[in-house]
Structure 1
């Protein structure tokens, strides 16, 4: 009799714990869709601040996954692959994350649940470590207990919460009441999303997971097959974390002239021109063309109006400081052109000081032929490159 009792107890323990089956940390190659541009444009607006994954690590997840030729290995391996893809698909938004596994036996330290990652600031690397910690599956399937436990684990989460359940849905007891209690506890802050990772003979479990997501009113149920590729996972991530937004209307730059220099923003290469400056076709405050003849640095008297304009601009903008930048075309050696550009910049600086501008507001620099703004293959292009530009240094 005693031997029979011992055999019965041993058999019951084995059925409860199941045989622990190790999982793989080798994941499928995966290139996610990049959602960052949609977030930055305002087309996606974040609605969820926290996500908490409840992962089935019971013995039923040790069975080979048969419902897709894209996966090999156990159902637990598929769960981990999906979580890896999910992790890679989340754009750069502020989140907290956590992960709880459920089952029984050695994989969960002989408890019904195991907290693989407490709720913490989300990082892809941190959550990747949590996924890797799902190292085996064993025991029964206490999903109801896991849902109740997750209610304690997310108690300090601020904002809206996505509870994501991955399972084959094969449960001993209905977890729906636990899901309903969780929803009552957190109200509109909580949405439950379920992912069915099951085979054809697990079809009843899919209905169970649907009941759980229905309990939250704002969640939904999906399948491993639906989110296995980049587009499917991207849609899942969008639905969990975002709502549709209205992008800000981008003004037509060709109709704007922010610095009011007469050159529209699209064409303006110098968008911070000071008030009153006479600019060239690029919107830059500069002396160009015939101001400097070939191999010359003297400021011709015919360009006195441009010098006078610079003096007036300095008066109109008392806080303005300027670097006078000299440039040449490509004729001559680099060394010679460097010296020539410095002579041109200093010639303009001297003329401005002569006209009453405080020299402390002016600096001079030469750039030789290093910064052409037009071709050096034509007379017109070379003339445009022989120039002195004013670059404001007060901003």
Structure 2
């Protein structure tokens, strides 16, 4: 799918851009540049065929989000509305379900928007049906049991966005959440995005364990997700910029653009040559405390797909570590990884493979 977007929209969505410059290029973007940029053509590339949102409606969601004057259930419902308002329709199958415990072994798993082609308006109406106040105890098994039945009728790759505090009811009969999640991962091409409101150490460890059922799954703290909702965008689609032109720059800084960081074959180690770029990026982030950066890892097509996904994750995490070791708060850095997807060059040549072994950086301010 192709769209024409001005650069101000691109940086607002944290999209990496291509510029003609040397390998260490790092350039500041001003608001005047944003207003005078020519139109840029981009490809929106779906990363999954389906997405499923599992919404926790237990009484624990009536607690306040740490550091914010809003309850968990209100914050997550508002966030779903905001994300749905701009989510591009790339032919997804979508579903929205709520879950809690009704004192039965299976718990409650309620269909709000049954799996069907994604439609923004109908999905928005379904979100409005979600309760504004939670009730009843949490039963993580209820969400996972219901999810397994939904996945049984799907084909292709699925992103599961699950809002949860990680708690579950210990009852005889149903399997434990980690075992159910592992079986789901074994039987389906699925990635879990666990949006965690867990405060108990046991529940936090459980969610971390669930996120290890495969390479693409992860846990995102709710407060972090509310501040950096790009995690959800990266789960469903990526954006490839195919052109970029600049007019006369002005002075008000709103972001920065940087060329890709390239890696040696089968390596996630940062080359010494990128020290200058790291210093420039760290200086920018320190001078602009509201700015944040998205770090996206990629590989060439050589090797096993699952291994490459893990390698791209390690590359992104190593770049993040380099920034945090230089004093940048990790909460300001969003890491994404795509393995060998979305190559920017021909993988049949050595030069092309080198360009594909990369980490893309996108920097913006609110």
Larger Rg: 1
Which has more helix, going by share of residues? 1
More relative contact order, 1 or 2 (CA 8 Å, 6+ apart): 2
